[in-house]
Structure 1
């Protein structure tokens, strides 16, 4: 194309002293960069932080559109938009959302003020979180304050847009995703969950309208079904649908699935997967289906409704669905793995981690004691190796900003399970190290705070060995069950420090066995808030519902899940 030829490039540079290959900071400041690597002298010589260099993932035409758009907004918003598209978009896209974050959002922001304001707010908070610095000039609002102002503008504009009718629904769904992402950065789980619920309700409304009035092959249908619904399903699995977060918001009884549900209420997964995103979407549906099944079981236990089918038959249905997904997924891997490059192999590892989430989520109902988790020794090692491979990719995680917010790869859930449930000292410590290195925010969950909790659990359990400070246990020194931590609860206190609020954490153990009285130990705990001031208090992500009784026999529906 003409824009890529040397002559065209030279013409674009005529009359401009600013390099178009400069560092992010100089480009945002609209000054000439000396292009020194790894950081430019123009920034460091004036005491500024150089944001480094990042290949621009957009065409020159899009770059010019962005420049035209930012020319009509105030400098703070312009800088936030630049930061979002140069840095945030690629990192938020993760392994599966590139089309939405780097193309759809950009195109909508050119014409829709609600989207422009929302992504500018995300850019401001993302930069503040990623740099761990609050930029405040005397008499000027902070980044957080500017972000909240833009966020409020975006909400008002979206409400106005929603009132125009059904044609605005795809745009409002997009806004719901952006608003939820912004609330993840703020660690406001309740608000994030509310936006996700709203987005999925709109997906349901859109489908009903589409089925009556629009062809399924339209670009809008593709936009909603292929780009946005998978993101919302991932968000829902990791916010209000999560067993440990039921206190935040009540999950809607009617689920939204990407795949059909047959007349018997069973999930109809594809018999063949063509791509990794397709396989991952099937797995997300399977997790939601399993969550819904557990909700039915809880109702059976509470009300003993005789008209409901035997819950064991539901468990068999879930297990059959899991087996079918795994067989179809492994067939895809056998067919195509040899042709996959780095990005596809990362996507493969991310999908395998999601599979481990469903395994861990069912296994927590099956083990009679904490030491029952010893059966997953090989799985724990595999989880560690997968996470180490993903984090070793310097192209995906080139800098601190890239380790700020993770929206589509579940590393925290399986890693905290490894550190808490695994007794082998070297595996636990590898997991702890990874909890330090993964993105510090996985959707609504704060990795540094889970690192703090899991570190303390390990210390409590290994204190039985009475080792000198700094001495590591030998590999054959495994904590016995009577010192294992079965549960923890964190509650805020009235006391505060100069930096962070103070919390209490209470650990539950069974020093006399499960049939003896539990023991509770409470101590103070400090948690790290977001730069926006919110704190998502860690919860027990491995918690079982009360109907999962250890005394139940082999005919229990829980036993039917064995082997997933």
Structure 2
């Protein structure tokens, strides 16, 4: 006689109940507004979720034990997305350089502050979704569970911050800035550049108000990494909107003291390169959209700035190379990678600035310099294997974009292939956007000269890129003002005005 089958004990856990009951793993009576189960026991009912994530598709094999030590109840969906943020987003954001902002500040605040926690969940959900779609999202899709979940987490973060506006909490400003930054990155992952800009300007207003209360250039009670991150975004958005930084406009061009100071460590190099990029990036954003007539009308001042920037970049490049070649003390792997990337950024800026006052096709005599820059990128990628999908550091995309201006089409295609082989985002810049824009520009140029050679890009891949670029432009009304769009030939100049 076979033994009777064991009946599985029924679970009381509700799949549709309030957040509090679900987090406590008990059955919820699902009363309207607030459930009786919570109110009858003196607990606060945390309401009902508007979005849930499908279990089979979104389950993660590992959830950090630290998530169970939070001071508030959390749902299974939140634990999953927080796990992704902790185990994937933070390592990606700090992959190229050590980043105390992510490795320490963001990690700590997301465990003790609910507003940051929900904003981190939002980023985790969108980061995972963006990776699955090869970093090619072009707007919010509320039919998608992850997007609905991210929106709900963003709403919870906003609600908490709104309730604390009148608080005298000394940490509130830092919390608000970190949440702003997480909103910016999330909107960029969604391809919502205009929304990201609004969040960026909100963070800059917080910094501006803080500065007014203290001495000039002093930002009190704020993590230094946060200030630098907002400065970097402010500078990079020169290419995506106003043409110059809103708040962090630099006046250090004439003295250039930061280039002449001794370089002893990687931090010294990074600081000097960043200060120079803060000058070079807005200059390129100003010059790339200019017509030949515009350049001629202001050539004296433009050329003067161009020569000064090139002088500073050449000096810094040589000093970085001298530090890189120094045998003792031996450089660690991270130091080698950091110095190599810093040098690559200088090389990219040098060629970009040298060619930025030429409106139209470049002479073939420039080809060797573009080949040299492409080779430098190929050498860097061959030597260093890290491939983060999101980083807030200056990386390889800007330099490869410069290469896509080469007079020789096959060199451009090699740069495009590299961009397509590593789908990722460097702060505001998306490798897919740059690759698709470069490919469309190349096709327009070839058609204009009746050169209909095979581009060497798979037709299906080219069509997917074209569709992604088209959808990105449609979902971003201000995209016609981007310096790269204005400088390209895919939209007539009259439509850019």
- 1:229 and 2:219 aligned: no
DSSP-derived class of the 1:410 partner? coil
Which of 438, 459, 467 is residue 526 of structure 1 equivalent to?
467
Q: Provide the TM-score with structure 1 as the length reference.
A: 0.60
Q: Assess if the C-alpha contact under 8 Å between 2:126 and 2:189 holds in 1.
A: yes
Once the two structures are TM-superposed, the CA of residue 52 in structure 1 deviates from its matched residue by 8.0
- 1:359 and 2:329 aligned: no
DSSP-derived class of the 2:363 partner? helix
Instruction: Describe how 1:493-508 pairs up with structure 2 within 5 A.
Output: none
Which of 314, 317, 320 is residue 326 of structure 1 equivalent to?
317
Task: Give the direction of change, closer, same or farther, for the CA distance of 1:319–1:66 in structure 2 (3 Å limit).
Answer: same
Partner of residue 280, structure 1? 270
Q: Assess if the C-alpha contact under 8 Å between 1:181 and 1:192 holds in 2.
A: yes
Partner of residue 418, structure 1? 403
Q: Assess if the C-alpha contact under 8 Å between 1:280 and 1:351 holds in 2.
A: yes
Partner of residue 150, structure 1? 153
Q: Provide the TM-score with structure 2 as the length reference.
A: 0.67
- Point out where structure 1 has 5 or more consecutive residues left out of the alignment: 1-45, 57-62, 473-501, 504-523, 546-564
Which of 406, 417, 421 is residue 433 of structure 1 equivalent to?
417
1:387-408 deviations in whole A, cap 9, x for unaligned? 56337644x23xxxx43x3331
Instruction: Describe how 1:100-119 pairs up with structure 2 within 5 A.
Output: 100-119=101-120
Partner of residue 68, structure 1? 69
Once the two structures are TM-superposed, the CA of residue 338 in structure 1 deviates from its matched residue by 6.5
Q: Assess if the C-alpha contact under 8 Å between 2:115 and 2:160 holds in 1.
A: yes
- CA–CA separation in structure 1 for the residues paired with 2:437 and 2:286: 32
- Point out where structure 2 has 5 or more consecutive residues left out of the alignment: 1-54, 458-462, 489-497
- 1:190 and 2:190 aligned: no
1:285-316 deviations in whole A, cap 9, x for unaligned? 22333466689999xx99xx99xx96665555
Partner of residue 171, structure 1? 175
Once the two structures are TM-superposed, the CA of residue 82 in structure 1 deviates from its matched residue by 0.8
Task: Give the direction of change, closer, same or farther, for the CA distance of 1:412–1:311 in structure 2 (3 Å limit).
Answer: closer
Q: Assess if the C-alpha contact under 8 Å between 2:243 and 2:282 holds in 1.
A: no
User: Which protein is richer in strand relative to its size?
Assistant: 1
Once the two structures are TM-superposed, the CA of residue 103 in structure 1 deviates from its matched residue by 1.9
Once the two structures are TM-superposed, the CA of residue 190 in structure 1 deviates from its matched residue by 1.7
- 1:341 and 2:339 aligned: no
Once the two structures are TM-superposed, the CA of residue 187 in structure 1 deviates from its matched residue by 1.0
Which of 250, 262, 269 is residue 258 of structure 2 equivalent to?
269
1:17-48 deviations in whole A, cap 9, x for unaligned? xxxxxxxxxxxxxxxxxxxxxxxxxxxxx987
1:534-556 deviations in whole A, cap 9, x for unaligned? 669695528569xxxxxxxxxxx
Aligned length: 411
- CA–CA separation in structure 1 for the residues paired with 2:444 and 2:394: 30
User: Which protein is richer in helix relative to its size?
Assistant: 2
RMSD of Structure 2 on Structure 1 (CA): 4.6
